[in-house]
Chain A
Amino acid sequence: MIALNHRAAAKFAAAIIQAKNLGNVVSDLAKAVTQVPKEVSEDQEAKHIQNILLYGECGALIDQSGNAGIVDTIHELFKINNSKVRQAGAIALGDITVGNTTFFLAKVLSQMQVATQTIEKQMFLITLKEIIINNPNCLNQAQLD
């Protein structure tokens, strides 16, 4: 499980990044998310989790639809060896989707449908849970059926 203090710290830092209009920090975080290795050692785990969660929280506040490839990037995180980093990716993807549901929600749902591994499906379910908790009204009738 991701520690609550990691999430709270990310939420707080993202609010500051938004208030100070630090777009370059968000770009750096996006880059850091793309550079997470397939094998994450325990001593590197916390750094990656913080970067991923912080990017997700920034995405909830600042629309990331300009970085359309992020859904694929985070989907790749669902396949890495470290369960906490995978979970951070799932939470971040939910947060990013909340930042622009019109753009991201359909992409997330379609990737969820093509996911083959149990662990990938589980991560997409966590993503969907994050979306529902933060913005339950974003789902339309077709998506609820």
Chain B
Amino acid sequence: MEQYLVQSKSKEQITRNIIAESIGKLFICHEFKLQAPILKALKDGDGNQVATFALSFRFSAYNNSNKVAFQPYIDSLVNLIAHKDLEAKQGVLKALQQIAGNDSLKTLFSVP
């Protein structure tokens, strides 16, 4: 993950897309082990890091019904819609689109 955190700052979109897909696939098997670094990248990362880590949800949330795994990220992702970096904003919107488009996960947006 340390390598991914460093490389996700890259200006090369191809590099960031490869990392996003890798983190997304890794998340499916190691969702709780990856929670801390993903939350850290979303909270403290620069625009490119936020874009990369947010985009990883496009891959992890596809056909995934594990609501508990995604619950910790919903508030962060919704708040990041207002991120000042355009790439980050796009990554976050793609992530939310994937989660909201998944019938098993869309209830995570329900107001209690």
B18, B28, B29, B33: which contacts A126 (Cβ < 8 A)? B18
Is A144 an interface residue when CB atoms closer than 8 A count as contact? yes
Cβ-closest chain B residue relative to A145: B1
Residues of A within 8 A of B1 (CB): 144-145
Within the complex, the shortest CB–CB distance from B7 to chain A, in Å, comes to 7
Interface segment, one of A8-16, A48-56, A72-80, A132-140: A132-140
Shortest distance from the beta carbon of A68 to any chain B beta carbon, whole Å: 23
Q: How large is the interface on B (under 10, 10 to 19, 20 to 34, 35 or more residues)?
A: 20 to 34
Alpha-carbon distance between A121 and B4 when the two chains are bound, in angstroms: 11
Say how far A81's CB is from chain B's closest CB, in angstroms. Answer: 18
Whether, in the assembled complex, A125 has its beta carbon less than 8 Å from a beta carbon of chain B, the answer is: yes
Task: Choose from B3, B12, B22, B25 the contact partner of A112 (Cβ within 8 Å).
Answer: B3
Q: Contact: B7 with A121, CB < 8 Å?
A: yes
Minimum distance in angstroms from A114 CB to a CB of chain B: 12
Interface size (A, Cβ < 8 Å)? 18
Q: Do most interface residues of chain A lie in helix, strand or loop, or is the interface mixed? A: helix
The B contact surface, by secondary structure, is helix
A136-B25 contact in complex given A125-B7, A144-B1, A144-B33, C-beta closer than 8 Å: yes
- In the complex, residue of chain A having the shortest beta-carbon distance to the beta carbon of B24: A132
Query: Is A117 interfacial (CB-CB < 8 Å)?
Result: no
Take A125-B19, A129-B25, A141-B33 as given contacts and tell me if A113 and B12 are in contact as well, using a CB distance cutoff of 8 Å: no
Contact B21 A129 (CB under 8 A): yes
User: Which of A118, A121, A129, A136 neighbours the largest number of chain B CB atoms within 10 Å of its CB?
Assistant: A129
Judged by a CB distance under 8 angstroms, whether B34 is at the interface is yes
What are 12 sample pairs from A and B whose C-beta atoms fall under 8 A apart? Answer: A113-B3, A121-B15, A122-B14, A125-B7, A125-B15, A128-B22, A129-B18, A132-B22, A136-B25, A139-B26, A144-B26, A145-B2
**6 pairs of A and B residues whose beta carbons are closest in the complex:** A136-B29, A129-B22, A125-B18, A132-B25, A132-B22, A132-B26
Other A-B pairs beyond A122-B14, A136-B25, 5, CB < 8 Å? A125-B19, A129-B21, A137-B29, A144-B1, A145-B37
